[in-house]
């Protein structure tokens, strides 16, 4: 019986040092992995309790989560070096959310999120170099260095929004456009537990259900809204039930496969014409709310360390892959090395690439600038041209 491509890859990885030994290790091409239990609201059934994962999928999920983690670590270091100014909200600890959901979505499915957007920007197709360069205000950034941490965009990725909760009605509007055009797409609309009490969120819920919009509302519950624990901010912390008339699903979002299968269920729900659904992704952020927040005045260092040791989404997925014999340990180490190299190169570019030309102050303000006026200036842009035109 011939070896599978996965087994051949594993065998080649085990050839080391020119010793001539060929150690055979048959890796599985796929495996059935258990998902973690879900909680249901107004649903008769939920996602499956296990899911098939191929070795190629496993490698991709591991690499993507490892990339987001190292990219965010680099962003934190750049901020401490003062290469990044202004706001900077890190996604470390929440990687299974964006990677697990993106595994089911395609590029035609729009996504809109809040300002903790670096991980989502990467999974939406923006390279690490363009993310970090945007953070340092370089022209090679995904928004030409003019958006910064909270305003990153790509095709069908609507940011990155700085106003708490404001992206939720916008997401409902995107879903309305999809239904109006009869597109077979879903819009993923993300917000945090800190935004969950906003009035505009419930207004968006109402309209989405009234019109049965294909919208997956996602509360990324990382347990703290800025420096306030969810129990101190909300009378009900069962966020998956707070759509009331909208079905909901609680998801252990520290496991990438559990997230993937919840998203698959939600997407199928919306595309079947049943209207919106609400997912509560219970996760955890390792750093403070932003880089200006040490993150230890409202929670203990022991709590954070315990989460890192016992619930880390990358470490736990790594162990799952090794136990299921989907990927060899040596290959995971090579993925880690490759990710480190990619991020290191992106950091160098973010430090040295050119800053935007001052002329960029006048671009991307009007969708159709007046034609025939090469020296057109915009009032209020800077102190020298405020009175022009």
pLDDT along the chain (389 residues), means of 10: 49 42 66 98 97 98 98 97 95 98 97 97 98 98 94 95 96 98 97 96 98 98 96 97 97 98 98 98 96 92 96 98 97 98 98 92 78 70 52
Class of residue 377 by CB neighbours under 10 A (exposed 0-12, middle 13-18, buried 19+):
middle
Burial of 227 (0-12, 13-18, 19+ CB in 10 A): middle
Tell me how far apart the alpha carbons of residues 217 and 204 are, in angstroms, rounded to a whole number: 10
Pick from 344, 322, 281, 310: which is nearest to 62 by CA? 322
Contact 122, 63 (CB under 8 A): no
Angle at 192 between CA 235 and CA 103, to 5 degrees: 130
Distance CA 92, CA 67 (A): 11
DSSP lists the bridge partners of residue 264 as: none
Alpha-carbon gap, residue 4 to 253, rounded angstroms: 32
Give phi and psi for 246, each to the nearest 5. Answer: -100, 125
Specify whether the CB–CB gap between 68 and 121 falls below 8 A.
no
Q: Where are the domains of the chain?
A: 30-355
Q: What is the pLDDT of residue 363?
A: 81
Give residue 304's pLDDT: 95
What is residue 293's DSSP assignment? -
Q: Which two tokens stand for residue 149?
A: 């941490």
Beta partners for residue 335, in sequence order: none
What CATH code is assigned to 30-355?
3.40.50.970
pLDDT of residue 83: 97
Q: What is the pLDDT of residue 225?
A: 95
Q: Check: CB of residue 386 under 8 Å from CB of residue 380.
A: yes
Quickly count: other Cβ atoms within 10 Å of residue 20's Cβ.
6
The burial class, CB within 10 Å (0-12 / 13-18 / 19+), for 150 is buried
Read off the pTM.
0.90
Structural tokens at position 28: 């599985």
d(CA 333, CA 368): 50
Q: Show the tokens assigned to 55.
A: 């070795």
- Euclidean distance between CA atoms 245 and 42, whole angstroms: 8
| pLDDT for residue 388 | 44
């Amino acid at each position: 019986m011939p070896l599978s491509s996965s087994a051949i890859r594993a065998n080649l990885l085990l050839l080391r040092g020119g010793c001539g030994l060929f150690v055979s290790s048959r890796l599985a091409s796929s495996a059935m992995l258990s998902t973690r239990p879900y909680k249901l609201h107004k649903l008769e059934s939920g996602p499956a309790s296990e899911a098939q994962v191929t070795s190629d999928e496993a490698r991709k999920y591991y690499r993507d989560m490892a990339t987001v983690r190292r990219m965010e670590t680099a962003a934190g270091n750049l901020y401490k070096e003062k290469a990044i100014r202004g706001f900077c909200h890190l996604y470390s600890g929440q990687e299974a959310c964006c990677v697990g959901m993106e595994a089911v979505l395609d590029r035609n499915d729009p996504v809109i999120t809040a300002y903790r957007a670096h991980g989502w920007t990467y999974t939406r197709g923006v390279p690490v170099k363009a993310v970090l360069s945007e953070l340092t205000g370089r022209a090679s950034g995904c928004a030409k260095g003019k958006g910064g941490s909270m305003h990153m965009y790509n095709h069908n990725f609507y940011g990155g929004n700085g106003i708490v909760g404001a992206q939720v009605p916008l997401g409902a509007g995107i879903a309305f456009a999809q239904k109006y055009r009869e597109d077979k797409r879903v819009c993923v609309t993300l917000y945090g537990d800190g935004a969950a009490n906003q009035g505009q969120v419930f207004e968006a819920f109402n309209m989405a259900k009234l019109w049965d919009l294909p919208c997956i509302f996602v509360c990324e519950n990382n347990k703290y809204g800025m420096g306030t624990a969810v129990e101190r901010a909300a009378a009900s912390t069962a966020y998956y039930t707070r759509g009331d008339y909208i079905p909901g699903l609680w998801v252990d979002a520290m496991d990438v496969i559990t997230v993937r299968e919840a998203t698959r269920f939600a997407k199928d729900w919306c595309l079947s014409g049943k209207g919106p659904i609400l997912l509560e992704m219970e996760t955890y952020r390792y750093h403070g709310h932003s880089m200006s927040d040490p993150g230890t005045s409202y929670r203990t260092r022991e709590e954070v360390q315990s989460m890192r040791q016992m619930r880390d989404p990358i470490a736990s997925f790594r162990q799952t892959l090794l136990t299921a014999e989907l990927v060899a340990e040596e290959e995971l180490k090579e993925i880690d090395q490759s990710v480190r190299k990619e991020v290191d190169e992106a950091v160098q570019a973010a430090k040295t690439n050119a800053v935007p030309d001052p002329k960029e102050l006048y671009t991307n303000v009007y969708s159709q600038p007046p034609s025939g006026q090469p020296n057109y200036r915009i009032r209020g842009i800077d102190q020298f041209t405020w009175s022009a035109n």
